Structure 1
Amino acid sequence: MNWQDNYIDMHSHILPGADDGSESMEQTISMLHMAYKEHIGTIIATPHYIPGEDNPSVEYLRDIAEQVQQQAYKINKNLRILLGNELYYSESIIEELKSGKAMTLADSSYVLVEFAYGIDYKSMCRGINNLTCHGYIPILAHIERYFCLHRDANKVDELVKMGCYIQMNCHSVMGGFFNADASYNRKLLNNNLVHIVSSDCHSDRTRVPMMQTAVKHLLKKCDEEPVKKIFLENPTRILENIYI
């Protein structure tokens, strides 16, 4: 099988009614069709988890994910739906992970974590260190959004050396939603400071499921091996719960 035929989307908001993503099962089905056309073979649904708020229970999310899986099978029997959370970092997140209220990615040791966009760098480092000290492997969601990291590859490199992996959205390597400087984002990619590129899809209208489109764009500007690594090989290692 060609590596471009079976992408793994590690960050998506495809579960209907679970957060600010898909609003209905009909919209989810439309997103599934779009994902399949974009050569996505595995989707990790990552609804937001915000400590202190009324988050959907894990049991509820597993039930919804199973319903979405049944719809995915109708499109292609190999289209998989897995489950995790996009965690909004707070000091209580460790307790909520250990209690089972919040989820890692596909039952692995990896956690997809986001911070307040205006967070200062030292506070972000403390949060990353807290996660790693408790045995979790943090993946920083949509790195392009944090003001403290903007155009500062040295800080990104420091986070990586702390044991943090870096996720970027497809739109941001192409130039688009929440993108300040697509060429800088691609520079991070070429310097091995981006480990995963995902869709972060929210609907079938804007912020749609997209991976093949991004790959084609990147292959015009980057070598094939690093592109293959961030779209397939690294996500595969996450699902296997081994270090990237």
Structure 2
Amino acid sequence: MIDIHSHILPGVDDGAQTIEQSIEMAKAAVNDGITKIVASPHHQTSKYYNEKSIVVEKVQELNEVLQAEGIPLEVLTGQEVRLFGEWVIEYENNQIATVNEKNYCLIEFPANHVPSYAERLFYDIQMKGITPIIVHPERNSQIVEQPDKLFQLIDKGAISQVTASSLTGDFGKKIQKFSLQLFEANLAHVIASDAHNITTRRFKLADSYEIIGDHFGTEMVYMLKENAELIIEGKMIYREHPEKIKKKRLLGIF
């Protein structure tokens, strides 16, 4: 399996703090069936700034350590970029790390809303040949209340990534239910761990695929796994036409 979103790099954000913790996470990833993992430290938040050059250097160092330890896991370059107005300028200045240095980028919204300029900025990002991947939309309170916000962005070319632990219920039944609704409405296209450690924010990728299989069948599982591979290869993913989540289908979440 391929994991396109993790916080495995040591000492750069709220993920692994030491190289020892990175090694522990790498072993846990392998035990979960992961062979390739994108290191996607937070960038452009109020606390963390990890421009591309930092990420590339840290990824190389971690790969060397894992090879020396005999851990069969390949770490790839990435970033979890908090959406900000100067994204295109930073990209042009080679400060944005796309997924595996191809043509997808992980984009994070604030937890409680979708920025008003998101649609326009996503257009500008796509004009640069980059597809925005909206990370964990199921944990954004405005998207949960107003799923049309996500629909509009997906309908115009963005894709989204649901967190494995959301599907397994670690963030609560409300988020779990909404996550499944996103897949049902073709508003989610890939699963990733967003793992930060091996205790409270674990991988759970294999478990999440089992849940998807139980609800939607093995064909959906294969498609989602292949989408992760297509993303790191910079190729077009499989996606169905998005549908709106009707308000009545949200009743009972809260």
Conserved in 2, the CA contact under 8 Å of 1:165 and 1:194?
yes
Q: Percent identity?
A: 26
* Secondary structure, aligned partner of 1:18: coil
Deviation at 1:173, TM superposition (A): 1.3
Counterpart of 1:69, as a letter, is: N
TM-score by length of 1: 0.88
Instruction: Determine the structure 2 residue equivalent to 1:226.
Output: 220
Q: Pick 1 or 2: higher relative contact order, CA cutoff 8 A, min separation 6.
A: 1
CA deviation profile, 1:88-115 (whole Å, cap 9, x unmatched) = 1111111111111121111111110012
Given the alignment of the two structures, is residue 14 of structure 1 paired with residue 8 of structure 2, yes or no? yes
Deviation at 1:223, TM superposition (A): 0.9
| CA shift in 2, pair 1:52/1:22, >3 Å | closer
Deviation at 1:31, TM superposition (A): 0.6
Instruction: Determine the structure 2 residue equivalent to 1:238.
Output: 231
* Secondary structure, aligned partner of 2:222: helix
Measure the CA separation in 2 of the matches of 1:40 and 1:200: 13
Conserved in 1, the CA contact under 8 Å of 2:164 and 2:193?
yes
Measure the CA separation in 1 of the matches of 2:46 and 2:86: 9
Instruction: Determine the structure 2 residue equivalent to 1:4.
Output: none
Q: Which moved more, 1:101-110 or 1:131-140?
A: 131-140
Structure 2 unaligned blocks of 5 or more: 238-254
Instruction: Determine the structure 1 residue equivalent to 2:249.
Output: none
Pairwise CA RMSD: 2.1
Given the alignment of the two structures, is residue 159 of structure 1 paired with residue 182 of structure 2, yes or no? no
CA deviation profile, 1:30-54 (whole Å, cap 9, x unmatched) = 1111100100011000011107876
Counterpart of 1:200, as a letter, is: D
Conserved in 2, the CA contact under 8 Å of 1:51 and 1:93?
no
Measure the CA separation in 2 of the matches of 1:207 and 1:52: 21
Structure 1 unaligned blocks of 5 or more: 1-6
* Secondary structure, aligned partner of 1:82: strand
Q: Which moved more, 1:170-179 or 1:50-59?
A: 50-59
Conserved in 2, the CA contact under 8 Å of 1:33 and 1:75?
no
Instruction: Determine the structure 2 residue equivalent to 1:61.
Output: 55
Measure the CA separation in 2 of the matches of 1:169 and 1:198: 5
Choose which of 117, 126, 129 in structure 1 pairs with 2:111.
117
Q: Which moved more, 1:218-227 or 1:88-97?
A: 218-227
* Secondary structure, aligned partner of 1:55: coil
* Secondary structure, aligned partner of 1:39: coil
Conserved in 2, the CA contact under 8 Å of 1:190 and 1:226?
no
CA deviation profile, 1:113-140 (whole Å, cap 9, x unmatched) = 0121233464332332232233321000
Counterpart of 1:196, as a letter, is: V
Measure the CA separation in 1 of the matches of 2:59 and 2:232: 17
